[in-house]
Structure 1
């Protein structure tokens, strides 16, 4: 039985199982062969041409944006886990099926906070897979802006008649280059609207300038992770997402499930990396027997199997909490830390088992290793989540001992 063909002990619906199994077949049979396709940009990510071609095949196969139904409703988080894990069986799978960050998280946010007009104008083009999006929140450290501490946000917005004017800088904005939809966070000091605000904007816009797109260790996300200058960006007031001053609350609506979605997709990649490593270890011989028969190798792969199951259990547990209607910030922080660390060990073991081949681009194993390393930082570094959890422990202790 493969790692993706497990008994249904998590309450996954029959609908989600049918969707997920269809996605798995599509990713394995149609998308995995594209892993050798040379159409990559100078950062190593799939070009828009390649993404468009794969998405045409996803539409034809009926697996485009499979976690969002035709009526706009989303699968439950437990059901989403079943589908997104399978979309992640190739690093290209989430791109092809439109389950990739940041679009997946942005669609979730718009679906839960956006009004009908904003959904029609901005969400529909994302769900169809016709456009990509970017989420403008993180700011440069050399500017003293917001990173893991959003209260440090220095990008500001001010009212001007029936518009808001935004000025500031952003960094590590995933997918900004080539995106058609942007969600911009800025801080308001206006009386009655103090706090963070979110705005939807059409991209590109001359007031949003891409200063650089640095090369990074990961290469799975088109558009890279850009540094941005925003200068006198005028946004109609009706393009504010939700209410003024509520931006940080909306960010949590997005970030808790988005962290978990990362875990789902990268678990799929590590399942595939384990399959490749096991196949290699069973075929490659050294000292007159297959590598897997050497304890040093076989035990690493055995530990990987254990860790894959632990990661899966953590993902489904957190998904079930989110399905109760709880924002699940504590649970998503725990899942992000635990799953990222487990997957890092799994990916590292796969590279080690495969030796020289493991560090080449002959398989996806080396890419999975790089992507997981970046994942331990994105959507909050491990240390920030642990610090947040420690604060909650201290608060609970004070309450218990008051």
Structure 2
């Protein structure tokens, strides 16, 4: 298999790497550039976004006709990894969740009128967005069939009542994709809707405190009480909500992996710089065998994650859903991120545990990776089903 990037993608990758190094990493070092939720504040973010647009590096996942770079999934993998080297990187290029996944699915399935109304403002960076699916118990989580939020047809529109929570970015989002039940059909019972934050009939109950740090807009609990949605704001067709969710989450799970790989590499980079200079018992730390084992294991785990991610990206570019490959990448990379950051903190000692480096920020952030977009255990169940169906063909060379 040839993983060589095309000259175009390699040029973009190097430009993103340079942009991150020269313009974003210095922003991380000043506490004044953080908001109260430990993410980049609005003013420095606006400046970085303007610079990314000027540099021609804005929204690499979107077509050039929409103001993006127009890369396929393989190209996105290479660039997102470079962006992920900074904790502020992805959002500066308009490649952070949940906007990233929402833009990708809207570009794939929305009508032209819907793209102009709902997608283009997100691409332009004028509004933020959210994807409202997860519900409190006993509602939908990893199992969408448990969906309890309902949309009922009344007169000439859909009326939504229900309850959602842990909706990423909802605190600042203007455009929402909402998944709700429209029938009790086991396969076609869910539908997807678009609504605007200004519409009546819904509220943010609270911004749920988390281990943090938080994405912009936090993770919110929402309640719907008579939200009205016109038929032109149905995404795809009534009954296609589960299909839309699968389309969105396939690529979205993988873009998480791409960004997490960059963060894992940054953590090992910080650790390597420390152990190279730190003296201990008559020699540099990196010369100790135990330290070498830890660094080698982390580096190898990251490379395995990169190969799985790029394999899944290539299959997505071929039009395959790549469910098996995405699940393998999601498990490997989410657990590798946690391992890499934990190893880096261990090697840096008290310095790693302090706020003198971004490692403690990364550590708290990394814990969610094994939960979001399907817990590792759910993806292992997916892989088990594939294996039981395919047997030895699970490891085919096709």
TM-score under structure 2 length normalisation: 0.93
**1:168 paired to 2:162:** yes
Among 346, 361, 365, the alignment partner of 2:359 is 365
Give the C-alpha shift of residue 396 in structure 1: 4.2
Instruction: Indicate the SS of the match to 1:169.
Output: strand
Specify which of 125, 128, 134 is matched with residue 130 of structure 2.
134
1:220 is displaced (CA, Å) by 4.7
Deviation for aligned residue 1:345:
1.3
Change (3 A) 1:155 1:93: same
| 274, 277, 280: which one aligns with 1:280 | 274
Q: Distance in 2 between matches of 1:109 and 1:297?
A: 43
Separation of aligned partners in 1, 2:316 and 2:188: 29
SS in 2 for 1:158: strand
Could you list the runs of 5+ residues in structure 2 that have no partner in the other structure? none
In structure 2, do the counterparts of structure 1 residues 98 and 220 end up closer, same or farther at CA, with 3 Å as the change threshold? farther
What is the aligned counterpart of 1:390 among 371, 384, 388?
384
1:14 aligns with 2:7: yes
Q: Note the alpha carbon deviations across 1:315-344, whole angstroms, 9 max, x for none.
A: 111111111211111211111011112222
1:245 maps onto 2:239 in alignment: yes
**1:223 is aligned to 2:244:** no
Comparing 297-306 and 378-387, the one that deviates more: 297-306
| Corresponding residue number in structure 2 for 1:203 | 197
Tell me how far apart the structure 2 counterparts of residues 355 and 64 of structure 1 sit (CA, whole Å): 37
Instruction: Tell whether the 8 Å contact from 2:37 to 2:214 is kept in structure 1 after alignment.
Output: no
**Partner residue in 2 for 1:112:** 108
2: CA distance between counterparts of 1:78 and 1:200?
29
1:95 corresponds, among 91, 94, 98, to: 91
Equivalent of 2:330 in 330, 336, 358? 336
Q: CA 1:297–1:11 in structure 2 vs 1: closer, same or farther (change >3 Å)? A: closer
Asked if 2 retains the 8 angstrom alpha-carbon contact of 1:65 and 1:129, the reply is no
2:79 aligns with 83
Which 10-residue stretch deviates more, 215-224 or 291-300? 215-224
CA distance in 2, matches of 1:190, 1:158: 12
- 1:29 aligned residue: 22
Distance in 2 of aligned mates of 1:13 and 1:302: 29
SS in 2 for 1:184: strand
Corresponding residue for residue 153 of structure 2: 159
Deviation sequence 1:129-176 (CA, Å, 0-9, x none): 2221100000012xx110010000000001123311111111110000
Deviation at 1:120, TM superposition (A): 0.6
Aligned 8 A contact 2:61 2:104 in 1: no
- 1:33–1:220 CA distance, 2 compared to 1 (3 A): farther
Q: 2:289 aligns with which of 290, 295, 301?
A: 295
Match of 2:371 among 367, 373, 377: 377
| Deviation (angstroms), 1:11 | 4.2
Q: Which moved more, 1:105-114 or 1:292-301?
A: 292-301
User: Matches of 1:265 and 1:163 in 2, distance apart?
Assistant: 39
The CA RMSD measured in Å over matched residues stands at 2.1
Q: Contact 1:45–1:224 (CA<8 Å) still a contact in 2?
A: no
TM-score (norm 1): 0.92
In structure 2, the partner of 1:5 is none
Which digits, 9 at most, give the CA deviation of each residue in 1:233-259, with x for residues without a partner? 111110111111011011111101111
Determine whether 1:212 maps to 2:213: no
Which ranges of structure 1 fall in alignment gaps of 5 or more residues? 1-7
Cα separation, 1, equivalents of 2:211 and 2:42: 20
- Residues 31-50 of structure 1: CA deviation (Å, up to 9, x unaligned): 11111343444332333334
Cα separation, partners in 2 of 1:246 and 1:385, compared to 1, 3 Å: same
Partner Cα distance (1:211, 1:189) in 2: 26
- Residue 62 (structure 2) pairs with residue 68 (structure 1): yes
Deviation of 1:305 (Å): 1.7
